[in-house]
């Protein structure tokens, strides 16, 4: 009876370790997707700025300069958000090698606690990156909208 209980406990620990590893991998994929969004926002804003500067179409109205400033701010936010902020990586091979020979149940428990700690730290990074993506996107849209409105006002004003 005691052996059966120990096997059930071990299976529960292995299952929990498997779930925590899947959650961690999902979180890391989410961070990668946010980094792709930063790259897209940065690229679009850089193209818009290069078009504006290459056409030398600087309108002397406040709306245009507000839009230009918004796009530059979005570029800065995208850059700051993209820079890694202390992500914790998990190399399970190292953990297995360091703990090999110890009790299997203890090794699984140790690995699981390390995965949970890394997940908790990386969740904070994900949350911060998500806020930066939202800010960069809002500033980008505001800048594009203001530049388009300034161009329309110049066309109608002439």
Q: At what angle do helices 104-157 and 2-55 cross, to 10 degrees?
A: 20
d(CA 25, CA 33): 12
| Contact by Cβ (8 Å): 24, 119 | yes
**Mean of the pLDDT values across residues 42-53?**
86
d(CA 148, CA 136): 18
- Using CA of residue 116, residue 118, residue 120, residue 122, what is the dihedral sign? negative
Residue 140, domain extent: 2-157
**Mean of the pLDDT values across residues 78-96?**
74
Which residue did the predictor score with more confidence, 18 or 35? 35
> Distance from CA of residue 22 to its chain's centroid?
18
**Mean of the pLDDT values across residues 8-17?**
73
d(CA 61, CA 158): 13
d(CA 142, CA 157): 22
| Contact by Cβ (8 Å): 70, 146 | yes
pTM above 0.85, yes or no: no
> Angle CA(22)–CA(112)–CA(9) in degrees, nearest 5?
105
- The per-residue pLDDT for range 104-144, each reduced to its tens digit, is 777 777 777 888 888 888 888 889 989 999 999 999 999 99
d(CA 144, CA 64): 9
CA dihedral 144, 146, 150, 156 (to 10 degrees): 100
Can you give the pLDDT at residue 1? 52
**Mean of the pLDDT values across residues 2-30?**
75
Cα within 13 Å of Cα(2), Cβ side: 0
* Number of structural domains in the chain: 1
Can you give the pLDDT at residue 135? 95
Q: Is the pLDDT of residue 78 over 60?
A: yes
- The per-residue pLDDT for range 92-114, each reduced to its tens digit, is 666 666 666 567 777 777 777 88
Q: How does residue 27 score in pLDDT terms, banded at 50, 70 and 90?
A: confident
| Mean per-residue pLDDT of the chain | 81
- The per-residue pLDDT for range 143-157, each reduced to its tens digit, is 999 988 888 877 776
**Mean of the pLDDT values across residues 6-22?**
74
């Amino acid at each position: 009876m005691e052996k059966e209980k120990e096997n059930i406990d071990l299976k529960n620990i292995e299952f929990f370790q498997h779930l925590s590893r899947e959650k961690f991998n999902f979180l890391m994929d989410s961070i990668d997707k946010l980094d792709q969004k930063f790259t897209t926002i940065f690229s679009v804003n850089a193209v818009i700025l290069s078009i504006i500067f290459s056409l030398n179409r600087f309108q002397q109205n406040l709306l245009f300069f507000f839009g230009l400033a918004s796009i530059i701010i979005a570029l800065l936010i995208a850059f700051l958000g993209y820079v890694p902020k202390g992500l914790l990586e998990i190399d399970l091979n190292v953990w297995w090698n360091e703990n090999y020979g110890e009790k299997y149940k203890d090794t699984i428990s140790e690995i699981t606690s390390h995965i949970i700690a890394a997940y908790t730290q990386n969740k904070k990074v994900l949350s911060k990156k998500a806020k930066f993506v939202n800010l960069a996107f809002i500033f980008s849209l505001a800048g594009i909208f203001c530049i388009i409105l300034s161009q329309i006002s110049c066309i109608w004003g002439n």
